[in-house]
Amino acid sequence: MVKRALKAVLFIGLAVLFVSCGNKKNLTEEEKALFKEYKSVKLAKDPETKKVYDFDGMQIIIGDFWSPSDGADNAEAVSPADEDAKRFHKFLKSAYNMDIDSYGIGSWGAHPQTVANFCTTGGDENYIFVIDARSVSTGLKGNLFYDLSTIKSIDWNDPKWDKATKELTSKNGGFYGMRALASEPRGGVFFNKRLLKEAGIDPEEIYDLQKEKKWTWETFEDMLKKTTRDLDNDGVFDTYGMANLSTEFCYLAAMSNGGSYIGKDSNGKYFNNIGNEKTLEALSWAADMKRKYERPQPEGANWDWMYASFINGEVAFQVDQEYRVGNIADMQDDWGFVCFPLGPKGDGKYGTLAQDNVYVIPGCYDKERAEKIAKAFDLYTTEVPGYDATTWKEDYYSRFRDARAVDETLQLMRDNPVPRYDPMIIGINQVGNVIWNVYGGGQTAQEAYEATKNEYQGLIDEMNK
């Protein structure tokens, strides 16, 4: 029933006839115009036939849960860049005689089951599924996805393939997920420029420190101390250094110090890394920063009270996800954004934790079918002519108040995405018990590790089977 329903949704309006364009015969007027427009594009050739790849009109469905049901390339363009991409996609489809596009194949809630059902039973459709963390761990455990390392027609070392996705989905020497997009910028540190200036700190100094690799736990704490102030000498602080969601702060603290909550070894096996000295140090440091410089939660306030504290100019710093820019767009005080500061035992690289959607091919396909689907996707994701490695910044400039936040901070995040493995362990609940108890002051980092290690080890062992 599920498969029949999917077919009914997916094939409405999809009967598009593409001609073989290796010799450019029988082109429509529109196709002729496209070939003329993109005449400088060097089309890829099949090493066996020595001719331009020809997929014989093969239809490939990039199945997600948000695209239009009649295809993303058919939707109205939302920007000049999107319009150019849609036009180039039309050329690529014609040139390689393939029908490939992104389609919404159901709701967010039903998507994991839809993916699991098809990867288990198979079908006539040629899918590339777009999945999130809910499907990645169960799919890897259940061997539902195709081992992309066995596909030799693609150079997986090409910079266009996101390295964090490859690392996240690696298992037994292979890897099962791909992403022909840079990892999205994620967690970092927002700062209030007015509060910094009033504390005698030049806001530009933070960007300069980051550029010189001197934006560290030590320099961060120095600014937290200076911005936690009693302005009227009544013994009560009027402004505080920070207010954070505990998990956002502690995930990045561990990363910055070379630690993690769950690790993965060279054989693709997960392990509990909370007891690692780097992780324990990061947790202890985070709890110390919270105790000294974080604004106390107002009595009766909701769990998300910290967001209003930053917007209202009551705290100088907030560790949060990049997408929070939408919530602070109209904030009265000026603000900036940098990476999380470097810990003393880290690798000296600024970055962020990757939390991206992953593209997978069903493991039920035979080798020939999987090879064709993967290669078609590789060609479909060719960079649009006229765009380069900096084009992505244009969309971000309008969201941030500082160009340096885009040119420097977001660039660093895209260059160094670090995969998070704790969401891969079913049942661990984002290591919340450890973080909440340590950051809240109820336990030391070592006590929290000892209290949870047996339970977590059981969950990890189950995942490693």
Q: What's the CA angle centered on 377, arms 423 and 30, to 5 degrees?
A: 140
Query: Are 229 and 131 in a shared domain?
Result: no
Query: Are 42 and 91 in a shared domain?
Result: yes
Query: Are 129 and 169 in a shared domain?
Result: yes
Residue 291 lies in a domain: yes
**Alpha-carbon distance 182 to 160, whole Å?**
7
What per-residue confidence (pLDDT) applies to 27? 84
**Alpha-carbon distance 434 to 258, whole Å?**
18
Query: Are 328 and 409 in a shared domain?
Result: yes
Query: Are 219 and 235 in a shared domain?
Result: yes
**Alpha-carbon distance 103 to 380, whole Å?**
15
Count how many domains the chain has. 2
Instruction: Name the residue range of residue 342's domain.
Output: 187-354+395-464
Token code pair at residue 213? 């690799």
Query: Are 331 and 205 in a shared domain?
Result: yes
Q: What are 335's strand-pairing partners?
A: 192
Contact 328, 101 (CB under 8 A): no
**AA identity, residue 231:** L
Query: Are 128 and 66 in a shared domain?
Result: yes
What per-residue confidence (pLDDT) applies to 387? 87
What per-residue confidence (pLDDT) applies to 13? 38
What per-residue confidence (pLDDT) applies to 268? 85
What per-residue confidence (pLDDT) applies to 254? 98
Under DSSP, is residue 145 helix (H, G, I), strand (E, B) or coil?
strand
What per-residue confidence (pLDDT) applies to 428? 86
What per-residue confidence (pLDDT) applies to 267? 83
Cα–Cα nearest to 146, from 364, 359, 357, 358? 364
Query: Are 174 and 245 in a shared domain?
Result: no
What per-residue confidence (pLDDT) applies to 220? 98
What per-residue confidence (pLDDT) applies to 25? 60
Residue 17 lies in a domain: yes
Residue 388 lies in a domain: no
Query: Are 177 and 296 in a shared domain?
Result: no
Angle 111-121/133-141 helices, nearest 10 degrees? 30
Please, what are the averages of pLDDT over each run of 10 residues along the chain (465 residues)?
41 38 68 94 95 96 96 92 94 97 96 97 97 93 96 95 95 94 95 98 98 98 97 89 97 98 91 97 98 95 95 97 95 98 97 96 98 98 90 92 97 95 86 92 96 95 91
Q: What are 63's strand-pairing partners?
A: 103, 129
Cα–Cα nearest to 146, from 181, 182, 122, 113? 122
Residue 389 lies in a domain: no
What per-residue confidence (pLDDT) applies to 24? 54
Query: Are 242 and 260 in a shared domain?
Result: yes
CA 283, distance to chain mean position in Å, is: 24
Residue 387 lies in a domain: no
CATH of the domain at 319: 3.40.190.10
Contact 272, 280 (CB under 8 A): no
**Alpha-carbon distance 417 to 183, whole Å?**
6
Contact 374, 27 (CB under 8 A): no
Neighbour count for residue 399 (Cβ, 10 Å): 14
Residue 231 lies in a domain: yes
Residue 368 lies in a domain: yes
Residue 81 lies in a domain: yes
Query: Are 221 and 349 in a shared domain?
Result: yes
What is the rounded (10 degree) CA torsion for 387, 389, 394, 400?
A: 170
In this prediction the pTM is: 0.89
Query: Are 239 and 168 in a shared domain?
Result: no
